[in-house]
């Protein structure tokens, strides 16, 4: 019978271009990391299947998810000027890259400024 682990997140993911492998480490609830290697095709199939399954779970009702803390970030316009590239790197070193349409980037910038200006609200009557 397989051992069941409660996953807490993805710690690291890298690509071995020579072998066409994806190396990744999954963090389990007790803090340990479990390392895996998968052929790129298998990794795509796993990621796609898990993504579809997670969407089905989300459709069952609203759920709270934990927010990952960001340790690094970068912002720049793409080479064609059609989008703003936003890279966020988690505390665990996992990078996330987003291509935002210019209008969405401007909206997010305004919202970030508004929310940041609100402060913590501590000590207000």
Burial of 125 (0-12, 13-18, 19+ CB in 10 A): exposed
Placement of tokens 């909206």 in the chain: 107
How does residue 121 score in pLDDT terms, banded at 50, 70 and 90? low
Give me the pLDDT at residue 70, please. Answer: 92
What are the Cα distances from residue 13, in Å, to 49, 54, 94, 104?
18, 20, 7, 28
Give me the pLDDT at residue 65, please. Answer: 66
How does residue 115 score in pLDDT terms, banded at 50, 70 and 90? very high
Between residues 113 and 48, the one the model is more confident about: 113
**Total-model pTM:** 0.53
**pLDDT tens per residue across span 15-57:** 999 999 999 999 999 989 999 999 998 998 988 888 888 878 7
| Confidence check: pLDDT of 12 > 80 | yes
Q: Beta-strand (E) ranges in the chain?
A: 7-16, 21-28, 33-39, 70-77, 83-90, 95-101
**pLDDT tens per residue across span 62-101:** 666 677 889 999 999 998 889 999 999 887 777 788 999 9
Q: What does the pLDDT average to over 98-125?
A: 85
């Amino acid at each position: 019978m397989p051992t069941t682990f409660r996953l807490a997140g993805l710690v690291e993911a890298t690509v071995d271009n020579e072998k066409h492998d994806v190396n990744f480490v999954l963090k389990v609830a007790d803090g340990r990391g479990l390392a895996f290697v998968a052929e790129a095709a298998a990794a795509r199939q796993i990621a796609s299947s898990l993504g579809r399954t997670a969407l089905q779970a989300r459709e069952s009702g609203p759920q709270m998810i934990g927010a990952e803390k960001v340790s690094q970030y970068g912002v720049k316009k793409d080479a064609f000027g059609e989008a703003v590239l936003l890279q966020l790197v988690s505390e665990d070193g996992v990078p996330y890259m987003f291509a935002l349409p210019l209008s969405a980037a401007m909206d997010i910038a305004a919202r970030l400024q508004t929310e940041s200006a609100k402060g913590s609200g501590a000590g207000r009557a």
